[in-house]
Amino acid sequence: MPDAYEDLGTLQSLARAAVSQLELRKAALDLRDLSDDLQRTNEELATRNDEIRRFYQNLSHELKTPLTVAREYVSMVVDGLAGEIGEEQREFLTVGIESCDRIANDLDDLLDLKRIETGKLRLETSPTSVEQLIDMTAASMTPMAVAAGLSLRCTSESGLPTVTADDGRVMQVISNLVRNALKFTAEGGEIAVEAREAPKPPNFVEISVRDTGCGIAGRTWTRLRASLSVQA
């Protein structure tokens, strides 16, 4: 009888071992299937991402080309190359030019968004004067603020250090923030662009855009910041 019990125990052990092997085999097959599914999904996402990227590129090309032509012809009329125009006509046409510029900027933003998502956005950094960026912001955005019945105040702390940055991209960020403030600030309000040396972290310059619009979470002032590393 003891031999029978031993044989039964051996059989049970073999059965458990067989079941374990089957479970391991099934788990390996499931893992392989899952890996294949993930690979197919990744390939599909890559294909869709490429299709979206090409769509935005084509959209930008198809829209910006006629938009540029329209802007140039309107500019020629404003400059008097097609004959004299009245001040009211000049004002209306100038609004048309500004609208063309806004559409072009929005298209560029769409392309930049796709470049960021695909890791293809390039930054061309060089020594940059923050004061000059603030002055350029005042020169380019003040007419839009005045047309909207708003006050645009641009100030820089004296003695700001030179920073290493992509000045075109920094101007793009500041301009986008100011345009956003223009949309959500009621007539008679104020937009402030300020640059100062940041207390934290050290060796940074802080550029802030504030407005007296509806704000976020019930605050009167909306404050959005962009920091640039100071050149060593």
CATH class entry, domain 1-122: mainly alpha
Task: Quote the pLDDT of residue 149.
Answer: 92
pTM over 0.85: no
Task: Quote the pLDDT of residue 66.
Answer: 85
Domain with CATH 3.30.565.10 in the chain: 126-229
Task: Quote the pLDDT of residue 232.
Answer: 39
Domain with CATH 1.10.287 in the chain: 1-122
Spell out the residues 6+ positions from residue 178 whose beta carbon is closer than 8 angstroms to its own. Answer: 137, 141, 145, 152, 191, 193, 209
**Does CATH place domain 126-229 in 3.30.565.10?**
yes
For residues 205 and 195, the answer to whether their CB atoms sit within 8 Å is yes
3-state secondary structure of 162: coil
Residues in the chain, pLDDT under 70: 1-12, 14-15, 118, 215-232
- Total count of residues recorded for the chain: 232
Task: Quote the pLDDT of residue 7.
Answer: 56
For residues 110 and 56, the answer to whether their CB atoms sit within 8 Å is yes
Q: Which two tokens stand for residue 86?
A: 């009245």
